[in-house]
Amino acid sequence: MVATPTDLSYLTAAEVGKLFRSRELSPVDLTRAHLERIDALQPRLKAFVTVTADIALHEARVAEAALLRGDDRPLLGVPVAYKDLYMTAGVRTTAGSLVHEHWTPEITATTVDKLHDAGMVMLGKLTTHEFASGMTPLDHPLPPARNPWNTDRVPGGSSSGSGAALAAGLTVGALGTDTGGSIRNPGTYCGIAALKPTYGRCSRHGVFTLSWSLDHTGPMARTCDDLALMLNAMAGHDAKDPASARVPTEDFTATLGAGISGLKIGVLRSWYEPDTATAVTAAVDTAYRVLKDLGAIVTDVEIPNVSLAASISAIMMPEAYAYHAADLAETPEKYAPQLRARLASGGLYLADEYVSAQRARQILKQDVAELLKDVDLLVTPTAAKTAPGFDTAYAEAMRRGPSYTGLFNMTGLPALSVPCGFDETGMPIGLQIAGRPFAEATVLRAGHAYEQAAGWHARHPEL
């Protein structure tokens, strides 16, 4: 049996399952180890809003009994935690805001229910930027999470606690949400694997809204293997989500090990390279060579109207304002000042600006669809730079640099971030891999092949 909490911290779901079934490890022991590690590191990392220790231990005992009966669910007994935008009946759900600081919902998000049905053990609720949008002030009663690689740096947002908890070995799996990059940005900043599935692939029922037409839910883990296992459990049509797609589910693990020989990969170099840090460009260039060595056909490609991706704000912010308008009017003091101003700005967009942005979105979707007739996947860095310090992030929050993630929210395509190196300060760099609609299996296959060849996922911060 594995001996200490530290030894257990970075096991994958696949490894955990083998240890459970060989009786070398029990769900109760694994859960206790994670709870001990959370207790030790939470004061430094602030990754959790709420730790549900009693629930976790109860669910772990239920999982242990099921294993003894021969239950073979792959995720049975595996620890998971949820971004605090996911509603959990009977458990406080804050959305990172004083507006809901003490709110306990009566419903549970569909995806949380699905992972519970898969046998996963809930450790708690994870820190999020306020309402998945505002940079939470350091002195906020619900403080921001810290990056385990350097606690003076941000972990990325808005699924900040999810990224931090995974990088620190506080959970095996996590859920995040992604409206403009909020799953993949913590993925790159924290050096983990993070997937935004196709729009409509996973239900958003029971999850706080930022932007109805851009919001996605998705899994976060440390390997593509674990992402695939979680996606198996959480994907599927949900009548409670109006945007949920009626697309058959599949086994996303089935082709993970099939390799990528002959796969056509398009590099959007001319789009990202002018604004990308030298260390990031070097890391992704090295990643492209690894993909070529694995047999992929890697070529530079262009999207004719890629600049239209910048119109995402003219869609996101009016929709966010519409969602928050009543609370902004009734309890403006409960919003952090920066977020209050940001949301209020959404009410200043004109109808023709919103409609024009939606028209630009359709042009962009057509351009990308045409390009994906010639290549199977598109790759970019996940972010132009590595994680900034808190001081820089707060100063630049309203004038952020280029985004390479929002393109795939605008088009609704599946997009993955996997670690592909480190910069000169020791901070992680991410490679973004995107594919055709509902081609998560191909995206994950490429990510898995790369991560196994490159090995960056096996590096962890010293804590």
In the 8-state DSSP scheme, what is residue 405?
S
Measuring CA to CA, how many Å separate 285 from each of 16, 269, 378? 34, 10, 14
Q: Retrieve residue 34's tokens.
A: 């994670």
Looking up tokens 């949301």, which residue turns up? 343
Residue among 26, 133, 158, 244 flagged as catalytic: 158
Whether the CB-CB separation of 107 and 306 falls below 8 Å is answered with: no
452: left (phi over 0), alpha (psi -120 to 50) or beta: alpha
Q: Would you list the DSSP string of 333-386?
A: GGS-HHHHHHHHHGGG--HHHHHHHHHHHHHHHHHHHHHTTT-SEEEEESBSS-
Residue among 9, 159, 182, 211 flagged as catalytic: 182
Sign of CA dihedral 384, 389, 393, 399: negative
Nearest to 403 by CA among 391, 387, 419, 385: 385
Helix (H) or strand (E) holding 432: strand 428-435
Cα 449–83–141 angle (5° rounding)?
Answer: 140
Pairing of strands 193-196, 297-300: unpaired
- Respond yes or no: is residue 83 known to be catalytic: yes
- Respond yes or no: is residue 158 known to be catalytic: yes
Q: Is 111 strand, coil or helix?
A: helix
Pairing of strands 79-83, 173-178: parallel
Nearest to 123 by CA among 64, 57, 76: 57
Cα 63–67–73 angle (5° rounding)?
Answer: 80
Q: Retrieve residue 209's tokens.
A: 């809204």
Nearest to 299 by CA among 308, 311, 291, 310: 291
Looking up tokens 């900040």, which residue turns up? 160
Helix (H) or strand (E) holding 178: strand 173-178
Question: Helices H, strands E: what count in the chain?
Answer: 16, 11
From the number of C-beta atoms within 10 Å of its C-beta (0-12, 13-18, 19+), residue 225 rates as buried
Residue among 9, 26, 46, 83 flagged as catalytic: 83
Catalytic positions = 83, 158, 182
